[in-house]
Amino acid sequence: MLQKQTTSTRFFRTKLTKALALVAGIIVLYIVAALTLGYDLTSFGAISQGFAWLFHYFMPTGNVLQFLGAIVTQIFRTFLIAVCATTVASVFAIVLALVGAKNAGLIPVIGIFIKGLASFLRNIPLAAWALILVFSFKQNELTGFLALFFMSLGFLTRAFIETIEDYGTDTIKALEATGATYPQIVCQAILPALAVPLCEWVLYMIENNIRDAVLVGLITGSGIGFLFDLYFKSLRYNAAGLVVLGVVVLVIAWEILSIQLKKRIEHHAKD
């Protein structure tokens, strides 16, 4: 009994020591990095000042309403670009994933190729995509669309492949045993079984792409990102602030909507 207690005491003391060591390690890392960069540790004090400045200038006040029409139009267009890019990408991604998933049992080399391609597309930063595409497609909405499309294609293909592979081979084999062809198995088993998680990935991707569309617009000179850039550079900070507010409202609205959509999808799947 006594023996046991000392063992447990030692066990928990060791755990505590380890946790403290971890925290200490992080602090040391910060200090080393900050010293190397020459940060003044007291500069945190300036943060509140910075925010005060931010609020003062970016407050959408005054005659800002004159910009409202243009802003709402552009936010809506940006939203549509994000939705288009995601939906088109998800159509291509599901085809690639259905061919590339291991449990599909199609040609393994093609699967490896598709996974490699998807990782490649996904791991190029969005800003890099936008910059590269601006070269070839000039500054317009198509460029923004393509940047979001390639990025989403990579991300969704990987996500779909993982979802499909998690489904395993049991049911697929069972339908194969009835003499069903692979396209039939896709429509009769894989898609009905995975409809909910696949749709959730698409909703998540749209949410991300709305946010990213602003950045892409900034770089490719289109949509709401362009408008922000314009107001900012022409010192109309209050209008730029309204743009930010508008984007936040859009993202929150979409989040609320997509939670409702997810509930519907899950509920429908249960009926």
The residues binding another protein (CB under 8 A) are 170-171, 173-181, 183-184, 186-189, 192-193, 195, 269-271
Name which of 22 and 109 has its Cβ closer to another protein: 109
Task: Report the distance separating Cα 12 and Cα 101, nearest Å.
Answer: 44
Q: Show the tokens assigned to 100.
A: 């590339």
Q: Which of 161, 129, 122, 159 is nearest to 147 (CA)?
A: 129
Least distance from another protein to the Cβ atom of residue 230, Å = 49
Shortest distance (Å) from residue 60 CB to another protein: 47
Residue 9 or 184: which CB sits closer to another protein?
184
Nearest distance from C-beta of residue 112 to another protein, angstroms: 17
C-alpha closest to that of 206 among 267, 255, 167:
255
Q: Residue 163 Cβ, how far from another protein at the closest point, in Å?
A: 14
Q: Which is nearer to another protein, 52 or 187 (CB)?
A: 187
How far are the Cα atoms of 56, 96, 174 from residue 151, in angstroms, in the given order?
Answer: 36, 15, 35
Decide whether 162 or 176 has the Cβ nearer to another protein.
Answer: 176
Least gap, CB of 198 to another protein (angstroms): 12
> Smaller CB distance to another protein: residue 82 or 164?
164
Burial 185-216, CB ≥16 within 10 A → b, else e: bbeebbeebbeebbbbbbbbbbbbbbebbbbb
In whole angstroms, what is the distance from residue 201 CA to residue 204 CA?
5
143, HSE (Cβ side, Cα atoms, 13 Å) = 25
Continuous segment of H or E residues that includes residue 89 = helix 68-100
